[in-house]
Amino acid sequence: MTKPKPIPARPSLEWLRKTAKDRLAQARRVTPEAKLAAAQLQIAREYGFSSWRAMKVHVERLSARRTFDEDGVPTHLPRVDLIASWPDFTAERPLNLLVSGCLAGLPVGVDGSTYGDHALIRRLIDLPNARAVTFCPENFAFGTPRATPDIHGGDGHDVLDGHAKVLSDTGEDWTAGMIAAAERMLAIARAHQVRLAILMDISAACGSQVIYRGARASSAHQIGQGVCAALLVRNGIPVVSQRDYRTLNGVFRRLNPAFRSRPDLRDHHEVDWYRDYFQA
């Protein structure tokens, strides 16, 4: 099965209309009586939508959202000036972090694994002036091992707003369980007064930069957040993923000024794959 094309990083109605007009012009070179509606449907299907209207609604929702700041930094990431404004942390007054259970080394992945070794994250949370609270929302809601959930019809924000669903790869509707897990995660973050969440990207729960758009076996990636990351962000808690090396480096340096600065490091939205894939 051909996978759908990814939606670009900054979609708009203007982009959609121009794409349809270009496609119609192409079609009319071969078939002068070609219709706009047929060109629109073809484009919608290429992007994985059942109709032009469904694609239009999706793009309107995305373009109404402030995903990036003016300088192109995703709004959910902690800014350099925010990290600089934090107080000095000590063992007695540590930086409180909320960390995805799997990133902290807990065997809570869908298959009971930790999804690999996350040495950088473990190094950070082991610093004497950091304190990590770990949580796996999917383990909380569905246990381990479990089926693999993905978001259908949008991202985590759309799930919270009732526009999208979380479905397991066995076809069960896990929307309510995932929202309950997100609420639990937010309650934990508040109880521990965390300043930052470090979450595993790609997950339908914890993803923050990139997640799947529909069932992962047959879908494209999308820019967006999983349900739990979205609820944290909506409540003012910045989120960083394990792939945001520039920001993680800044957090390391805030905890230990002797930590070597690495100007060559990039966050996930700055890497070539992301830029090419999402035309960012």
CB-nearer residue toward ligand SF4: 75 or 113: 113
**Interface pick for ligand SF4 out of 6, 11, 48, 109 (rule CB under 6 A):** 109
Six-digit token pair at 128?
């004497």
**Interface pick for ligand SF4 out of 20, 39, 59, 102 (rule CB under 6 A):** 102
**Interface pick for ligand SF4 out of 48, 101, 154, 238 (rule CB under 6 A):** 101
DSSP state of 149: E
Identify whether the C-beta of residue 234 lies closer than 8 Å to the C-beta of residue 201.
Answer: no
Binding pattern for the stretch 131-150 against ligand SF4, x by CB under 6 A and - elsewhere: -----xxxx-----------
CB-nearer residue toward ligand SF4: 47 or 135: 135
Six-digit token pair at 35?
């219709």
Does residue 203 touch ligand SF4 according to CB under 6 A? yes
Q: Given its phi and psi angles, is residue 214 left (phi above 0), alpha (psi -120 to 50 degrees) or beta?
A: left
Gap between the Cα atoms of 107 and 43, Å rounded? 42
Helix (H) or strand (E) holding 97: strand 95-100
Gap between the Cα atoms of 60 and 9, Å rounded? 13
Binding pattern for the stretch 6-45 against ligand SF4, x by CB under 6 A and - elsewhere: ----------------------------------------
Q: What are the residues facing 133 on neighbouring strands?
A: 98
**Interface pick for ligand SF4 out of 39, 167, 186, 200 (rule CB under 6 A):** 200
Gap between the Cα atoms of 25 and 165, Å rounded? 36
Kindly state the smallest distance separating residue 150's Cβ from ligand SF4, in Å: 12
Does residue 130 touch ligand SF4 according to CB under 6 A? no
Six-digit token pair at 192?
């521990």
Does residue 167 touch ligand SF4 according to CB under 6 A? no
Gap between the Cα atoms of 278 and 84, Å rounded? 30
- From first CA to last CA, the distance across the chain in angstroms is 26
Kindly state the smallest distance separating residue 231's Cβ from ligand SF4, in Å: 13
Binding pattern for the stretch 209-248 against ligand SF4, x by CB under 6 A and - elsewhere: ----------------------------------------
What angle do helix axes 13-30 and 52-63 make, rounded to 10 degrees?
A: 150
**Interface pick for ligand SF4 out of 100, 175, 208, 241 (rule CB under 6 A):** 100
CB-nearer residue toward ligand SF4: 100 or 209: 100
**Interface pick for ligand SF4 out of 127, 132, 205, 248 (rule CB under 6 A):** 205
**DSSP string covering 220-235:** EEEE---HHHHHHHHT
- Binding footprint of ligand SF4 on the chain (CB under 6 A): 100-102, 108-109, 136-139, 200, 203, 205-206
